Structure 1
Amino acid sequence: MPRYKHPRKTWQYSADFKVKAVELSHQEGIEVQQVAAGLDINPFMLSRWRKEYREGRIRPDGRKRVDVMKEKKAPPAEELKELDRLKRDNARLKKENDLLKKATVSGGSTSERFGFIQAHGRELGVRYLCRWLGVSRSGYYAWCKREESQQSRSNRDLLKKVRQIHRANLGVYGSPRVHQALRREGISVGRKRVERLMREASLIGRAGRVYRRIPGIERFYERHRNIRLNQPAPTGLNQQWVADLTYIRVGNEWRYLAAVLDVYSRKVIGWSLGSRKTADLTLRALRHALRVRTPRPGLIFHTDRGVEYGAYLIQNELGRHGIQPSMNRPNQCTDNAHMESFFHSLKAEAIHGVSFKSEQELRVVLSSYINQFYNQKRLHSGIGYRAPAEYERMVA
């Protein structure tokens, strides 16, 4: 084995030193941990010395510690007490610093202060918190024994209902839609109260991030204009349809979703999923919509300016059914805001944060979201917080 030039030095404490340490730890008001900290030794070592001292195995013999370093001197009891006081002051300051971060309730009502003490009393001490928040301990303990108020019971029952609605709608509803869902069930409650209860319970809706892409040079199709621009809002079904496509990651590849939506009811009436972004994909979605609906000639079919919708296959199909094609103005993606809104909701509520391993897995999720949730249950602000299927039944 190699020979070390500077081996580690080992402390060998003399019996006198051990006896003094043990006797110091036996003084009234002094704890083993304090003595160990003052002498810079491990508390377990001092506990072992105390045991050996009781058994008579350690006696003062006048020997000095075998080491080139000077023997440590045991600090006096006064110094240990001062060290202990400084540690307590440091712990108190740390508590106050933590309180400053938490105690936005310090300016609230007495009940809010009592609630704060109840939440943090075990950690920081009831007596200390009562003094710091300016309330009496007797008042706090009386508050703890008091029966729950009617308002508190009402909030608890309402929060239970809010949780049910939030969970039943896949956890995507924020406070506006939860508020509308409560009203539909006959529960009269303020919007801000719902906001507060959801915020306190950490219930949040899902929202997508805003992505910005650098637009490329797109071909301008003079023959396709935005005929929706000067048209009034539709007054019935099958007057204006909008369509678009988007992309969704599956493993290390992309899949493309084309969809058709009725502007009047916000219902998705046709969609198609494929591995290639082609006119065939958008044609399948259009034919799906035509099988579900039987529109009269004159229907406006609005899309963006992509080649998938300007292709002959799409334009020929539209002509066969007497449908008028309409496209966005150049660099004006908001002309197709209804479809952008649908894709935004879809990705925020069902796609983001989910890893799809196969196209079939993605297809199942899309079918469940579009056919069962979005069309049948999801409340839409643009149609008076109703579901598309319900709205169509109302106007039928």
Structure 2
Amino acid sequence: MRQNYTEQQKLDILKRCQNGESILLISKETNISRSTIYRWLSASLKKKSPDQHSKEPTYKDIRKLEHRVQHLEGMFEVIELSGCTSASSLKDRLNALEKLYGRYNTYILCEALKVPRGTFYNHILRNKREKAWYYEHRKILKAEIQRVYHETGQIYGSDKITAILKEQGIKTPEDTVRLLMKELGLKSIRQQAKALYEKEKKGFCQDKLKQNFYADKPNQIWVSDVTYFKTKSSAFSICVIMDLYSRMIVAYKIGTRNNTRLIKGTFKLAYESRKPADGLLFHSDRGSNYRAAAFTDYLKTLNVEQSFSRAHVPYDNSVVESFFANFKREELYRRKYRSDYEFRQCVNEYILFYNMERPHSSNNYKTPLAKELEYKNKIKKS
């Protein structure tokens, strides 16, 4: 038979439940069944107002609201900066949005002025060839992306680089950063870290040179490295390949990004100009570009043996390190380059000077060119 309880008893029980006391303990102390207490709690919740009974928002709900607020704020900014409304002519709206392209997400741009995205993309693709500002904007943004990428140790992807650029006052959508990083060949080294680690565990990165920086003839051992240098307007990666016999720079390449394409392109220049016989040893540090499958597989097709410096031992590639040190002291640090063209020209001139005019102590103070000519004459006589 159901026992009758006073309203005060019910209120006391409910209060204890709301204070977090265990329903099991309350039931034992009061001899009121748990099912009865649960029934009272259920009835109490039903009596609450809709606002009190509403579900507590989750973290996901809060994030969705934050994104929606950011989206609306972006739309308001677009409307304010464009000087147009959805009632303006389509031509005026397209021209206004074109000026903001790259600064805001395309979805926000089109939604703010009610322009179909397909129409906007067609307008951009049709006009961008004639818009010098479009290329200038992309050029500046690429330089900033590359700067952040190198300053942060090449470990950040598009999301973090976008956030850093935003903190520095450069507002651009992550999709744009991702696209430009792809064009620049920039990838977070985190993506290849495990694969490269597994290769090292299997003995892939062996030091076969062992600081023996001397060769008996040209095209027997080549060494390589990349240096990074920033001018007032741009950032460059310079890859060089040196022949250990004469210390001649047999190939070099200047790129706007340090990637596998730069390394492979430089090696291809050296290989096609020198045409070395089988058995060439190619030594470098353990940079991810030199260990990438696209490059190592390419060397295998040419029967080129690969060697790597030990981890954290710069002396294993000290010959090229020494070249870059001299290169910077004698050329790069001494000039203020007024343009990218001037920078490239000066690098070209220095390499020619180094190969043809600059005496080298390891060559008994002969130039690299003189050392190679001496070897060729020796071969002819024999």
TM-score range, shorter chain: 0.3 to 0.5
What TM-score comes out, normalization by structure 1 length? 0.44
Q: Which has the larger radius of gyration?
A: 1
What TM-score comes out, normalization by structure 2 length? 0.45
